[in-house]
Every structure is written in C-alpha cells, then in structure tokens.
C-alpha cells in the first residue's frame, strides 16, 4: 500500500516503523524547528489546505491516509478528512486516549476561556504548546511558559520562558512547581505518558488544574486509539486490494 502518514507524534514515529512493509511517506507540518524524524521517507510543510491535499493525494496515487497528528491539530485533521473524502482515499485517525478526567479539574473549551479563569496575581504554569500563548498576554498573572520552541504570539507581561521537550519525570515536575511557587497549571488533555507527570505533581501539591478540552473530530471520521489498530487497518486494505 502507498500510505500518507500525517505525523509529528510518538505514535506516528512508531507507525512509520511498524508499516515498513508498505510504501509510507510521513508528512510533518513544520511546526517544530527540530522535529524528531521517523524512519523512512519524510516531507515537511503544508499542502495548501484541503483542496491542495486532495490534489496531492491524486497526483501521488496515495491508497490510504493515516492522520496521527497531535490531538489538538484540529485544522490539519479537518483538512485531511475532507481531502480524503473528496477523492475517495480511505482515511483513518489515530486518536490517542485522553487522560481520564478528574472531577477537580476546571475544564474549558479554549485558551481564551482558560485565560479568563485566572485570578489576578496567580502564578501559572502554562503548558499548551506555542501557538495559543497569545490568549494569555493580557492576563494579570505571572506565567512559567513551557514549550518546545518559542511561542508565536505575544507573551504575558510577566513571564519566564522555559524551552524543553518531554518526556518529563514526576520528581522534576514536582521540583519545578515548588521552585516557581505555582498556584495553577493550565494544560491540554494531550494524553499519553510523556507529559502526564505534571498532572500528578500538581495534584500532590494541591495546585489548581485547568484543562483545555480537545477539539471535536470530524463527523463520520473513522477513528482508532492504537498503532496496532492502524497496522491492522492498513493490512486489511492491502489484502483487499490484491
């Protein structure tokens, strides 16, 4: 099978290796300056929206599309679903399981809602990636902003920027929260083991946790939660095409 794998996650890198019996091209959006590259062929950059991707799928005779992007890459996922449907390419979304919701969390729908929930003078650990930090620029709080690359928008007036890439260990997260006297953790429900330690450390210290919920997946999309399920699906397509 000729497979386009939309990547940028640990699951995508695992899949690139798992699917080595097929012709797999991993596409990275280019959002991270120094990405961890998967095994096999890689392209970096966008396609020009859903229409551009649809044309690319036809031009390169793609037989299956696997979307293994980050759970919050809503625009990429929507474009991929629309493009594949438009040209009749089978498509599958690998959506890693969310972290189980805790009743103590304040769950909000957006970065703007999370910013609005903050009280004046709070000390906030902001771990939402780099793209929506600007939503907190006007908040009257102090922020420890952690991301892999520098944020793309305006930063809060009072902040410290910490550039770091996970996985993060519990003891290190505990020490970080204590060192910076954090009152509130603002994060996304990314799921997976790489960054869950911050939640455990925050609970241990009684730090308030604000979680931005995941965006909805496209209606009618075929969705699985594991690399095993993706590999099985691609294998079934390959057998059906012979």
Phi, psi of 87 (to 5 degrees): -110, 10
pLDDT in tens, 207-233: 999 999 999 999 999 999 999 999 999
123, 183 contact by CB (below 8 A): yes
Parts of the chain belonging to CATH 3.40.50.720: 2-96+216-241, 106-212
Fold for 106-212, please state it: Rossmann fold (3.40.50)
pLDDT in tens, 83-114: 999 999 999 999 999 999 899 999 999 999 99
pLDDT in tens, 31-88: 666 777 888 889 998 899 999 999 999 999 999 999 999 999 999 999 999 999 999 9
pLDDT in tens, 117-126: 999 999 999 9
How much is the mean pLDDT over the chain? 94
Tell me the C-alpha distance between 184 and 136, whole Å.
Answer: 13
- Say whether the peptide bond before residue 129 is cis (omega within 30 degrees of 0): no
When the candidates are 3.40.190.10, 3.20.20.70, 3.40.50.720, 1.10.150.120, the CATH number that belongs to 2-96+216-241 is 3.40.50.720
Percent of the chain with pLDDT over 70: 99
Strands (E), 10-134: 23-28, 41-44, 64-67, 91-94, 106-108, 123-127
126, 141 contact by CB (below 8 A): no
Q: Which residue from 97, 89, 71 is spatially nearest to 4, judged by alpha carbons? A: 89
Q: Point out which residues pair with 46 in neighbouring strands.
A: none
pLDDT in tens, 172-202: 999 999 999 999 999 999 998 889 999 999 9
Token pair for 148: 């892999």
């Amino acid at each position: 099978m000729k497979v386009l794998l939309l990547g940028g996650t640990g699951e995508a890198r695992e899949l690139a290796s798992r699917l080595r019996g097929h012709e797999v091209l991993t596409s990275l959006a280019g959002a991270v300056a120094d990405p961890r590259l998967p095994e096999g062929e890689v392209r970096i950059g966008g396609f020009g929206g859903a229409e551009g991707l649809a044309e690319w799928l036809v031009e390169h005779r793609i037989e299956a599309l696997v979307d293994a992007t980050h759970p919050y890459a809503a625009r990429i996922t929507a474009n991929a679903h629309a493009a594949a449907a438009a040209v009749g390419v089978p498509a599958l979304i690998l959506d890693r399981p969310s972290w189980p919701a805790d009743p103590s969390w304040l769950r909000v729908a957006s970065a703007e809602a999370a910013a609005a929930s903050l009280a004046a003078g709070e000390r906030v650990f902001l771990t939402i990636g780099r793209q929506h930090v600007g939503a907190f620029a006007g908040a009257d709080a102090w922020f420890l902003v952690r991301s892999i690359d520098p944020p793309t928008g305006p930063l809060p007036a009072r902040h410290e920027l910490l550039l770091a890439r996970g996985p993060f260990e519990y003891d290190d997260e505990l020490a970080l929260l204590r060192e910076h006297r954090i009152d509130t953790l603002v994060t996304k429900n990314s799921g997976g083991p790489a960054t869950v330690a911050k939640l455990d450390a925050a609970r241990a210290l009684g730090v308030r946790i604000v979680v931005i919920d995941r965006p909805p997946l496209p209606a009618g999309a075929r969705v699985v939660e594991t690399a095993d399920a993706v590999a099985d699906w691609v294998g079934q397509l390959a057998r059906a095409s012979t």
